[in-house]
Amino acid sequence: MITPVLPTYKRAPLAFDHGKGMRIYTAEGKEYLDFGAGVAVTSLGHAHPHLVEALAEQARKLWHTSNLYVIPGQEKLARRLTEATFADTVFFTNSGAEALECTIKMARKYHAAKGHPERYRIITFEGAFHGRTLATIAAGGQAKYIEGFGPKVDGFDQVPFGDEKALNAAITDATAAILIEPIQGEGGMRPVPPKTLRRLREICDENGLLLLLDEVQSGVGRTGKLFAHEWAGITPDIMAIAKGIGGGFPVGACLATEEAAQSMTAGTHGSTFGGNPLAMAVGNAVLDVMLADGFLARVRERGLNLKQKLAQLKDSHPDIIEEVRGEGLMMGLKTKVPNTDFVAAALDQQLLTIGAGDNVVRLLPPLIVSDDDLSEAVTKLDRTCQSFKSKA
Ligand SMILES: *Cc1c(COP(=O)(O)O)cnc(C)c1O
């Protein structure tokens, strides 16, 4: 018999009741160290006082008005995001997939408005993940997400990760854009080398294509810069963000240059809930913390510390850990045991981690993590590795 909750997730038999900072607790008070952050979402940890206060204050004033009226929180958050990035304009959504939908629609409309509606195809990369809507599963190109859901949305051409020849061969007169995650998250924490991102920017410029970045997971401070592409010294034309910007409240956004966004006039796109006052209060509160002096520098320091500790862990357990991947606080362990077994064994050590493709275990702590928390997590990971040896 089907469960009342549609069983589309294979869930751990574990429910949480409350959280504080880096820690999350069951109703019985059992404590877990959270290195998953709800898949890179609770970027400032649980129950951050500044976020709680911002949400509660807005909740007492006004929840929702629709986008038929000016929403001051949107004006403020959009202004701050445009000041802090390449972008000139922002559309707010409730999720990452919706931010990608806006990104895809905008790229197509850009060329259509220039008299080239036939230029609607977008090149994506093997191992990509862009969400679960009909267009974003087609963009991601993973058969297991596409099969059985009717004709695949047309307009996406996938090429192997890091194969410039294949990429050049895929560019035709119908190509509108290239879409890439600066660090593949679900695909297995695979960073795109900065020189490859710079090359993609050149290829786009040479061919009149738009460069679209999916920073839903890699963005909002995760790598120690506000956005991961900053490490490569390039800027995209359009970028999708979500996850960390809401700190746990559903918020996404599509950021774009004026040039790329020029045809998105009144009536061309919309969302009932996108950018509602509650979401904007939290998004602004997240930026209050992240843009404060020294915050991102601390994330960079913690990221280096974590990388070093994980390298040592790999040296201690070469039979369990094959490779350490990632940047900043977006790290992955490619394991020699099934990653699902590793995540379950880490759970026994009261440490939350998250599986990814390519048999990788993701470590995505809230960005407020301390060096002590990192040491504690690595001790738990060490015990997790040992637990496999005692079984063998
Ligand atoms: C999570 C994720 C998405 C989809 O976001 P949702 O909020 O689940 O729709 C898209 N792209 C990347 C890179 C992601 O990590």
Centre of ligand 1 from the C-alpha of residue 375, in Å: 29
In order of 40, 83, 186, 349, 354, the CA distances from 341 in angstroms are 21, 44, 17, 13, 11
Nearest residue by C-alpha to atom 6 in ligand 1: 96
Listed in sequence order, the residues at least 6 apart from 99 whose beta carbon sits closer than 8 Å to its beta carbon are: 93, 216, 240, 241, 242, 252, 253, 254
* Distance in Å, CA 281 to ligand 1 centroid: 22
In ligand 1, the atom with minimum distance to the C-alpha of 215 is 13
| Cβ 130 under 6 angstroms from ligand 1 | yes
Q: Does the structure show a pLDDT above 70 at 286?
A: yes
The CA 155 to ligand 1 mean position distance, Å, reads 20
User: What's the pLDDT at 162?
Assistant: 87
> 391 falls in which pLDDT band (50, 70, 90)?
low
Contact 15, 27 (CB under 8 A): yes
| Token output for 189 | 């924490």
What average pLDDT is seen over the chain?
97
For the Cβ of 97 lying below 6 angstroms from any atom of ligand 1, the answer is: yes
Give the residue-averaged pLDDT of 343-351.
Answer: 98
Is residue 392 predicted with pLDDT exceeding 70? no
Rounded to an integer, the average pLDDT of 151-172 is 96
Ligand 1: does its nearest atom lie under 6 Å from the Cβ of 364? no
288-308 tens-digit pLDDT = 999 999 999 999 999 999 999
- Average pLDDT of the residues in 321-334: 98
pLDDT tops 90 at residue 104: yes
Please name the amino acid found at residue 335: T
Q: Are strands 351-352 and 31-34 parallel, antiparallel or unpaired?
A: parallel
Does residue 72 have a pLDDT over 90?
yes
pLDDT single digits (tens) 220-264: 999 999 999 999 999 999 999 999 999 999 999 999 999 999 999
CB 223 within 8 A of CB 231: yes
Confidence class for position 389, pLDDT limits 50, 70, 90 = confident
pLDDT interval class at 7 (50, 70, 90): very high
pLDDT tens per residue across span 17-60? 999 999 999 999 999 999 999 999 999 999 999 999 999 999 99
Structure tokens at 69: 């009226």
Sheet-wide strand order for 321-327: 321-327, 330-335, 360-363, 354-356
For the segment 69-75, the average pLDDT, to the nearest whole number, is 98
Rounded mean pLDDT, 193-210: 98
In the chain, the percentage of residues whose pLDDT exceeds 70 is 99
> Hey, is 83 helix, strand or coil?
helix
| CATH numbers and ranges of domains, the chain | 18-47+295-391 (3.90.1150.10), 50-290 (3.40.640.10)
Residues 88, 229: Cα–Cα separation, whole Å: 17
Banded model confidence at residue 269, pLDDT cuts 50, 70, 90: very high
How many residues are given for the chain?
A: 392
Best mutation site among 133, 137, 217, 362 for ligand 1, i.e. most ligand atoms within 8 A of its Cβ?
217
Task: Provide the CA 184 distance to its chain's centre, in angstroms.
Answer: 9
